[in-house]
Amino acid sequence: MTFSPIIFAKHRQGSVPAQNAYRKLECQVVIDFSGFETTPFLNKELGINLNKLIAPGLGIQGVFANGDSYAVYYFSETAYRFVLGQEAANTLVALVAQHEHEYDIELMRRDDLAIGQICGQSAFDSLLTHFSLTPGLGISDLQTCYGKQSGEVFVTTLLQDGVQQHQLIAQAKPLLAWQEKLSAEGFSVN
């Protein structure tokens, strides 16, 4: 039997809060974006520079012209995942609707997924342990983020306001189970 590690990333920049904390992100949504012309659409219509996204899981954080922020993760040339606030999601949906007749693209709002966010001194090590992740990538670009699927959970690492954060994206029931595990480990739950 061969072992295939799931390589995970950690930011070299940013601060790590002393207190371990978990909170559910009620105002964030997940949109999966796919189609044969997804990459050209993101480059041309949204002006997103995807040149750094050369491996599945790599992502970038950005801001739409109206100031709404997002994180987008690369799965393949034809598939991406956006994690963004409700207003930013509305902006993206409206823009796609404007251009859907010009491009082979499709959005799927993932209302079946919820998002939890953890941070703190034990956050990264806890992710490595619980999700069988192997540390291996150091991220130095402040706008770069990274995500990997581990079982039922899409696990991410990113900087927000200069603080290292990790997001757990899963259906509500598995996410609640992870919240309970993290709480039992001493993470404060907000």
pLDDT tens per residue, range 16-37 = 787 999 999 999 999 999 999 9
Q: How far apart are the first and last CA of the chain?
A: 41
Q: 152-172: buried (b, 16+ CB within 10 Å) or exposed (e) per residue?
A: ebbbbbbbeeeebbbbbbbee
Mean pLDDT, rounded, for 64-69: 87
Contact 158, 165 (CB under 8 A): yes
Range(s) within the chain of domains with CATH label 3.30.70.1400: 28-109
Domain 6-27+112-138+147-189 has CATH 3.30.70.1630: yes
| Each residue's pLDDT tens digit, 110-134 | 999 999 999 999 999 999 988 888 8
Which tokens hold the place of 46? 């949204």
* Opening angle at CA 188, ends 136 and 125, nearest 5: 15
Chain region(s) in the chain for CATH 3.30.70.1630:
6-27+112-138+147-189
Its pTM stands at 0.91
Q: Does domain 28-109 have CATH number 3.40.30.10?
A: no
